[in-house]
């Protein structure tokens, strides 16, 4: 007999018997015992590997109800139930959960009614469906017959004892004991057993709105991990989506109550796995040094992605993967959501934003125009003065032959088409001929001269998807002329509404490629909006607006706090700065007044000379004038509003650069939080709220209260 049973028997013997007139709980059970039993309410869970261990996560209440209804119908063998907003399918017959839009290991699904507490994380683990049914039948008999201390043996030969409705224990076997040991199995450390999901501490969400208003593709940066916890792009986008759902409930409450909006769907796009499945990792491993193995592996897996993108071979693989994945997911999304009427936007983090920028720059308008850029200024129009033929020949130290080309009326384009025989007939020696041909042929290839331009399809919809020969847009000569990798950029089968860049190095790459400024009238051929969002301490982020308006100096737009105020330390910093300026101005004004009053009476000659000096001196600043005059008699001048800043058409005339407010702890040491600031966007409420605000603003839906 176990210690628990012996204690309960002793307590029952020591308890006085109830009086004849009293109504004990046992008598109540005997009177109507059958009515006290209520069937347990099941809830559906799925198993996920987190930190190398199995974790059971509940479906939201809406998905669990759908799974239970499908299970109760009795046709669960071939039934497929979409869950998690349609991003996962549950095959009831297999009890497995599969991802729809991306590759992911399938996870086990279970209809759960009974749970036991785990050892390490104190989270409840569900029993198998078959053993849960045995537990439920035993519990029903115990309640109905009022016979407790029921003992059961689990499939792995562990003991579960039902002492009473509030005390049910699962005993683990003692380490090292077996069936020949002296200690019984139930003498191990007990674990709590609970019946029904309502008795365990677990967060169960209500579910997501069925209506999808907008679709956003999210492209990751370098490496397979996207944050400091080494999570994948799928997990980080899940956080981004969860934050957006919470903000929709708090900041768009009126629109949700009026059923004007549903939700925004964010889907990840992974290009790292296809790139590193080309065999490049094996090639790199052969030449990698054996020392500092972990650091070199990290470099090969992450930092080298930047060099891959600057390689024509692997750059083609990257842009093909990103564009084809977004097109594939878009087609699949329309098939699964035929009632979708919303628009599409794209977002990129770090290097992913540069990939999207290059793809958007080389898009063609899907209205049947073979060259959509003919009516648009090129982003690369202003690269400085283009060197003339004479300057090119001077660079080659062949200036003496310029007169020959001038006589033959040959410019740079004509010279690029000349052959060796043509130059020989002009009387140019063999050595200079080889230099000229090599130089200008290289320039011709890099400028993309005489490349055929494929025709664009009439539209970008499900019924008119571009053919494989029409899927690529030819490389614009000016694009490659500034150092952009000469690859064929795929076409997107839709027009993105807005392009969001998080922690983006676009400005740096454009500058390194040789671009001095962006034409103010330039805009993406197929995308209307562009927002460059960054953290002030992000070491990878660069601004865009100074390249559009290089002559003006202005600060980026400060992203409002999602609670509608500036962070306290920023307000304190501004207040202290303003206070110090006021104290300085008042102190200077008081000293000047004291000096004047001291020198005016006893020294009239000095007073006269001071008056003359003041006449010749510059007028006092506005901050010093109130100390010389009565402030009550003069009205306070109205502060003039700063004129709006025009930063071109890249974002439809709106501002482009948006900076987050750093946290108070981050302001103590910028270098300490530099890496964290580059990976902070996935859980940043301010970032997500800006994205939602700009998306719904295009539909005429605004925040409940404007943020300051």
Helix, strand, coil tally for the chain in percent (to 5): 40, 15, 45
Question: And the tokens for 315?
Answer: 């750059």
Q: Of these residues, 132, 232, 343, 350, which one is catalytic?
A: 350
Whether residue 518 has pLDDT greater than 50: yes
Whether the pLDDT of residue 392 is over 70: the answer is yes
The predicted structure's pLDDT at residue 578: 57
Task: Select the more confidently predicted residue: 697 or 5.
Answer: 697
- Taking residues 467-487, report their average pLDDT: 51
**Main-chain dihedrals φ then ψ at residue 280, nearest 5 degrees:** -70, -30
Q: How many C-beta atoms lie closer than 10 Å to residue 701's C-beta?
A: 17
Q: Tokens for 166?
A: 């509030």
The residue-averaged pLDDT of 398-410 equals 86
In this prediction, residue 19 has a pLDDT band, given cuts at 50, 70 and 90, of very low
| Cα–Cα nearest to 233, from 222, 224, 241, 242 | 224
At 9 the pLDDT is: 44
User: Comparing 47-51, 66-70, 88-92, 608-612, which segment has the lowest mean pLDDT?
Assistant: 608-612
Per-residue 3-state assignment (H helix, E strand, C coil) for 419-455: CHHHHHHCCCCHHHHHHHHHHHHHHHHHHCCCCCCCC
- pLDDT tens column, 304-363: 999 999 998 899 999 999 999 999 999 999 999 999 999 999 999 999 999 999 999 999
Mean pLDDT computed over 167-175: 80
The mean pLDDT of 527-547, rounded to a whole number, is: 96
Instruction: State what percent of residues in the chain have pLDDT above 90.
Output: 49
* pLDDT band, residue 403 (cuts 50/70/90): confident
Give the phi and the psi of residue 686 in degrees, each rounded to 5: -65, -40
Tell me, yes or no, if 128 is annotated catalytic. Answer: no
pLDDT for position 511: 94
pLDDT score of 41: 94
Which pLDDT does position 508 carry in this prediction? 96
8 A C-beta contact, residue 244 and residue 263: yes
Q: What is the pLDDT of residue 390?
A: 82
CA neighbor of 214 nearest in space, from 163, 165, 159, 263: 263
Q: Are the CB atoms for 530 and 561 separated by under 8 Å? A: no
Question: Cα-flanking dihedrals φ and ψ of residue 388, to 5°?
Answer: -80, 175
Which pLDDT belongs to residue 435?
82
pLDDT tens per residue across span 32-54? 444 588 999 999 999 998 878 88
Res. 457: pLDDT tops 70: no
- In a 13 Å sphere around the CA of 84, the CA atoms on its Cβ side amount to 20
499 close to 530: Cβ distance less than 8 angstroms? yes
pLDDT score recorded for residue 64: 96
Would you say residue 255 has pLDDT above 50? yes
Q: How far is CA 280 from CA 305, 310, 314, in A?
A: 11, 15, 9
Average pLDDT over residues 674-678: 92
Give the model's confidence band at 367: pLDDT under 50 very low, under 70 low, under 90 confident, else very high: very low
Q: Please give the residue that has the higher pLDDT: either 484 or 474.
A: 484
Is pLDDT larger for residue 497 or for residue 19?
Answer: 497
The tens digit of pLDDT for each residue in 202-232 reads: 889 999 999 999 999 999 999 999 988 889 9
Question: Does the pLDDT of residue 259 top 70, yes or no?
Answer: yes
Query: Long-range contact list for 74-83, CB < 8 A, 24+ apart?
Result: 82/336, 83/59
Chain centroid to CA 457: 31
What's the confidence (pLDDT) of residue 175? 57
| Average pLDDT value for the chain | 79
Q: Which residue has the tokens 């991802």?
A: 99
| Least confident segment among 307-321, 530-544, 589-603 | 589-603
Q: Give the three-class secondary structure for 141.
A: helix
Instruction: Work out the angle between the directed axes of helices 685-697 and 233-251 (0-180°, nearest 10).
Output: 70
The arithmetic mean of pLDDT across residues 414-429, rounded, is 84
Q: What is the pLDDT of residue 441?
A: 63
Asked whether the predicted pLDDT for residue 459 surpasses 60, the reply is no
Percentage of the chain exceeding pLDDT 70: 73
Which H or E element spans position 586? Answer: helix 568-600
Q: What is the CATH architecture of 389-445? A: Orthogonal Bundle (1.10)
> Nearest-CA neighbor of 114 among 126, 123, 96?
126
The pLDDT, as a whole number, for residue 97 is: 97
Measure Cα distances from 252 to 211, 222, 245, 262 in Å: 15, 34, 10, 10
pTM comes to 0.73
Higher-confidence residue: 617 or 415?
Answer: 415
The predicted pLDDT at position 450 comes to 37
- Closest by alpha carbon to 708, among 662, 648, 661, 652? 661
Burial 336-369 (b: 16+ CB within 10 A, else e): ebeebebbbbbbbbbbbbbbbbbbbbbbbbbeee
Task: Give Cβ neighbours of residue 683 (< 8 Å, ≥ 6 apart).
Answer: 239, 240, 243
Confidence band of 182 (pLDDT split at 50, 70, 90): very low
Highest mean pLDDT among 428-432, 617-621, 625-629, 686-690: 686-690
Averaging pLDDT over each range in 68-77, 86-95, 606-615, which range is the top one? 86-95
Rounded-to-integer distance, Cα 655 and Cα 419, Å? 50
Please report which confidence band the pLDDT of residue 267 belongs to, taking 50, 70 and 90 as the band edges. very high
How confident is the model at residue 708, as a pLDDT? 64
Q: What is the pLDDT of residue 16?
A: 42
Q: Which of 24-28, 306-310, 581-585 has the weakest average pLDDT?
A: 24-28
Over 90: is that where the pLDDT of 556 sits? yes
Q: Per-residue pLDDT for 183 more than 60?
A: no
* Measured distance between the N- and C-terminal CA atoms of the chain, rounded to whole angstroms: 70
Tell me what pLDDT residue 598 has. Answer: 54
């Amino acid at each position: 007999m176990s210690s628990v049973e012996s204690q309960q028997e002793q307590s029952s013997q020591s308890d006085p018997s109830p009086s004849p007139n009293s109504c004990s709980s046992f008598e109540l059970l005997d009177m109507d015992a059958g009515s006290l039993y209520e069937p347990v309410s099941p809830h559906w869970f799925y198993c996920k590997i987190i930190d190398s261990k199995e974790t059971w996560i509940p479906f939201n209440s809406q998905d669990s109800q759908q799974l239970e209804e499908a299970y109760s119908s009795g046709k669960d063998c071939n039934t497929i139930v979409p869950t998690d907003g349609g991003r996962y399918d549950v095959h009831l017959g297999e009890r497995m959960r599969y991802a729809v839009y991306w590759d992911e290991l399938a996870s086990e699904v279970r209809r759960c009614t009974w749970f036991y507490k785990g050892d390490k994380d104190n989270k409840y683990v569900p029993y198998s469906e078959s053993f849960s049914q045995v537990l439920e039948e035993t519990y029903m008999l115990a309640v109905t017959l009022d016979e407790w201390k029921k003992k059961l043996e689990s499939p792995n030969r562990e003991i579960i004892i039902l002492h009473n409705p509030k005390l049910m224990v699962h005993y683990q076997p003692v380490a090292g004991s077996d069936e020949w040991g002296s200690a019984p199995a139930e003498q191990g450390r007990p674990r709590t057993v609970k019946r029904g999901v309502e008795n365990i501490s677990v967060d169960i969400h209500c579910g997501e709105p069925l209506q999808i208003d907008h679709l956003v593709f999210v492209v990751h940066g370098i490496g397979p991990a996207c944050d400091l916890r080494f999570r994948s792009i799928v997990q980080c986008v899940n956080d981004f989506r969860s934050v957006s759902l919470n903000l929709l409930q708090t900041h768009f409450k009126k629109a949700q109550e009026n059923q004007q909006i549903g939700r925004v769907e964010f889907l990840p796009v992974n290009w790292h796995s296809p790139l590193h499945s080309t065999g490049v990792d094996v090639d790199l491993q052969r030449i990698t040094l054996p020392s500092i193995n972990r650091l070199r592996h990290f470099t090969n897996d992450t930092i080298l992605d930047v060099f891959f993108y600057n390689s024509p071979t692997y750059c083609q693989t990257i842009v093909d993967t990103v564009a084809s994945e977004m097109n594939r997911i878009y087609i699949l999304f329309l098939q699964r959501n035929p009632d979708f009427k919303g628009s599409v936007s794209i977002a990129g983090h770090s290097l992913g934003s540069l990939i999207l920028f290059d793809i958007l720059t080389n898009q063609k308008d899907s209205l049947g125009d073979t060259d959509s850029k003919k009516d648009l200024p090129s982003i690369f129009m202003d690269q400085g003065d283009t060197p003339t033929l004479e300057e090119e020949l001077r660079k080659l130290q062949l200036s003496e032959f310029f007169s020959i080309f001038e006589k033959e009326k040959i410019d740079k384009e004509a010279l690029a088409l000349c052959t060796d025989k043509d130059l020989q007939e002009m009387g140019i020696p063999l050595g200079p001929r080889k230099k000229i041909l090599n130089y200008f042929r290289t320039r011709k290839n890099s400028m993309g001269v005489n490349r055929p331009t494929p025709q664009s399809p009439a539209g970008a919809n499900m019924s008119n998807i571009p053919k494989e020969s029409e899927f690529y847009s030819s490389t614009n000569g000016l694009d490659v002329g500034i150092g952009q990798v000469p690859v064929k950029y795929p076409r997107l089968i839709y027009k993105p509404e807005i392009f969001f860049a998080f922690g983006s190095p676009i400005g740096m790459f454009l500058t390194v490629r040789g671009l001095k400024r962006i034409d103010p009238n330039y805009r993406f051929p197929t995308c209307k909006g562009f927002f460059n969002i960054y953290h002030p301490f992000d070491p990878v982020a660069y601004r865009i607006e100074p390249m559009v308006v290089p002559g003006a100096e202005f600060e980026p737009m400060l992203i409002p706090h999602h609670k509608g105020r500036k962070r306290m330390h920023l307000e304190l910093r501004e207040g202290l700065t303003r206070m110090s300026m006021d104290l300085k101005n008042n102190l200077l004004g008081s000293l000047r007044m004291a000096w004047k009053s001291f020198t005016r009476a006893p020294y009239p000659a000095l007073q006269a000379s001071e008056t003359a000096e003041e006449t010749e001196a510059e007028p006092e600043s506005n901050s010093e004038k109130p100390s010389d005059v009565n402030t009550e008699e003069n009205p306070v001048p109205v502060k003039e509003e700063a004129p709006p800043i025009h930063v071109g058409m890249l974002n439809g005339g709106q501002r482009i650069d948006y900076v987050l407010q750093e946290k108070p702890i981050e302001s103590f040491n910028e270098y300490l939080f530099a890496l964290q600031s580059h990976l902070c966007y996935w859980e940043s409420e301010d970032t997500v709220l800006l994205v939602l605000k700009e998306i719904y603003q295009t539909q005429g839906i605004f925040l409940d209260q404007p943020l300051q």
